[in-house]
Structure 1
Amino acid sequence: MSVLIVGATGTLGRQVTRRALDEGYEVRCLVRNPRKATFLKEWGAELVTGNLCTPDSLPKVLEGVTAVIDAATARATDSLTIRQVDWDGKVNLIQAAKTAGIDRYIFFSILDAEKFPNVPLMDIKACTEKFLAQSGLKYTILRPCGFLQGLIGQYAIPILENQSVWVMGDTAPIAYMDTIDIAKFAVRALKVPETEGKAFPVVGSRAWGAEEIIQLCERLSGREAKVSRMPIGVLRGIQRVARFFQWTLNVADRLAFTEVVATGKSLNASMDDVYETFGLDRKDMTTLESYMQDYFSRIMKKLKEVEFAQAEAKKKQEKKKKKTYPRF
């Protein structure tokens, strides 16, 4: 089976690519800039140049492909807006896939997207789900709600560098999941007919609040966090200002996502039936505790090595000074 992976250079997309290659699939990656995706080629994937927002580029990209795994989304720094990439682009891709006779289409949405019509990305994801369901394609929709990888920059690094960890008030606990594990569900769906025409939550073992994550990081690092609290009203004000400028529209739309976590309602779902349907074992999935423990174990070991090397260098420098300036 030949699989086209869209969004392959992203945090999730690269793990989907790696998983599909490891399982023996012929993998093709749609990229806008091949130079930024050379690592995918080194892994064994075929790179094809195209753009979701350029419909004429898609038919050639889909030639010989039997399945699509769609992990693309607009980034805050993109010149294109969320609507252009996550709606217009996805409509283009789904229509092109239908015309090309693609056998399977795996789409990444967001958990509870339909509950937040006033949040641009959530509303677009919910609309795309409906459009895909009506397309006639054999589809599977996966709904994660947060990546473990994002917690390193948000919590771990600021604590290690004695910088502020920014949190809002009573934010919603989130069931984060490792992108490596999310990729397992995406690739597995290609082999499981029972996943066709259905949507599934793909979330971690339990939901974690910001305070719980901070406490875990403090315990594992042995350092105290400097917590700074950002009122939701301030973020809303920043969002309104950002919407005035074309070049900050994506930032504004991303900030709107704070309305999701500001509800205080947990972003989580039962995974019992999901594991059974996909034939995967929850024991093989990475928990937030083990993910953070592994990270801090590696980084603290590295820091000790650096501190030891610095201490040894200082000793050598002092000995050298003594030899250069002998005492009488």
Structure 2
Amino acid sequence: MEGRRVIVAGASGYLGKHIIRELQIRKIEFGAIVRKKESVYELNLTDKQLIEAEVTKPNTLSGIINNGDVLISCVGITRQKDGLTYKDVDFQANVNLLNEAKASGAVKVVYISVLNGELMRHLKLVEAKEAFVDYLKTSTLNYTVIRPNGFFSDMKDFLQMARKGKVFLFGKGQFMLNPIHGADLARVVVDSIETSTNEIEVGGPDILTQEEIAELALKAFKFEIKISHIPDWVRKSILALLRAFTTSKTYGPYEFFLSMMAQDNIAPRYGVHRLKDFFQEEADKINTHKKTPKEI
């Protein structure tokens, strides 16, 4: 990495901030693309490291990537907002970045998509991501696509239910997954800069059933284990209704979440952070700032 700069797009997001911290730890020269520098205030970045730009506006990207740089993009949206669609952000914004990287003589692009994304193109949230992966593969640049199977932060939905004393699951709750902490994933992303591997699937160290995740969430609040199982036909009905009566702006994130809850999502295990510890840390924060339901 000597003499090479890394440009991180999506630096103000959950994973982006972890990637910046990993680059700081390794003392790797970098630039962080953000819409507003205040969004990464806690990272203590220098003016040289901060790049204020709008990835959806190609004219603001001119000159921000230099010859020999590596572009890492975790640009994407879960919920469509500000009038922007998945196609605008997950696809076109990344195309804008890629085009600038090619024009500037960058040597590699690292892009974060999702596990089994090529099999889930029917989901609106995934469709645009995989369209960009297709575009990336046709470029002349070296590339690596990172495919995590979910972040610890995505598991906060379990905590939000657990803080009320009960968790609801669709079906029997036996589908398995091994989500990964942002810090662990950031190490994989930065390591990938020097690899020739085109695709990397990665998950956390613990493979858990949805039932086990629900139990961990309840235990974090020291509650009695109370889990209600909702028939899977209810999940399917909700999906059908959302698709029929709402726009992709509304149903996109729910479609993704409800679909992921109905299948195993297991990736090669990596990392040292455990979901149990993450849940406990988050529950402690909640208990510190707000009263929780009476403990059993």
* Length-normalised TM-score, structure 1: 0.76
Confirm or deny that 1:89 pairs with 2:96. Answer: no
Please give the root-mean-square deviation of Cα atoms over the aligned residues, in Å.
2.8
1:111 Cα deviation (Å)?
0.5
- State the match for 1:188 in structure 2: 191
Which consecutive unaligned segments of at least 5 residues does structure 1 have? 244-248, 272-281, 308-328
Aligned equivalents of 1:73, 1:8: Cα separation in 2? 11
For residue 8 of structure 1, report the CA deviation from its aligned partner: 0.9
Q: Match for residue 261 of structure 1? A: 260
Name segments (4+ residues, structure 1) moved above 6 Å: none
Counterpart selection for 2:122 from 112, 118, 121: 118
After the TM superposition, which residues 272-311 of structure 1 pair with which residues of structure 2 at under 5 Å, given as runs?
A: 282=270, 285-296=272-283, 298-299=284-285, 302=288
Number of residues paired by the alignment?
A: 282
SS of corresponding position for 1:127:
helix
Note if contact 1:138-1:197 (Cα within 8 Å) is conserved in structure 2.
no
Q: Percent identity?
A: 21
Give the counterpart of 1:39 among 35, 38, 42: 42
Question: Shift in Å at residue 268 of structure 1?
Answer: 1.0
Post-superposition Cα deviations, 1:209-261, rounded to whole Å, max 9, x if no partner, equal 32111112333432036656662112431343221xxxxx3332212214532
Could you tell me which residue of structure 2 aligns to residue 103 of structure 1?
107
CA displacement, residues 274-296 of structure 1 (integer Å, 9 cap, x when unaligned) = xxxxxxxx5x5212234334555
Question: CA separation of 1:234/1:35 partners in 2, compared to 1, >3 Å: closer, same or farther?
Answer: same
The C-alpha deviation readout for 1:22-57, integer Å capped at 9, x for no partner, is 1112221111223333334x2447222212221122
Greater Rg by CA? 1
Gaps of 5+ in 2: none
Distance (Å, rounded) in 1 between the aligned partners of 2:10 and 2:149: 17
**1:54 aligned residue (54, 57, 61):** 57
Q: Distance in 1 between matches of 2:54 and 2:280?
A: 39
| Cα distance between partner residues in 1 of 2:38 and 2:274 | 34
Alignment-derived partner of residue 147 in structure 1: 151
RCO comparison, higher one (Cα < 8 Å, 6+): 2
In structure 2, distance between residues paired with 1:85 and 1:72: 7
Query: What is the CA distance between 1:156 and its match in structure 2?
Result: 2.5
Q: Is the 8 A contact 1:206 1:268 kept in 2?
A: no
CA distance in 2, matches of 1:145, 1:213: 15
CA contact (8 A) 1:148 1:179 kept: yes
* 1:178 partner amino acid: H
The answer to which structure has the higher helix fraction is 1
Is this contact kept in 2: 1:73–1:85, CA < 8 A?
yes
- In the other structure, the counterpart of 1:214 is 214
AA aligned to 2:207 is A
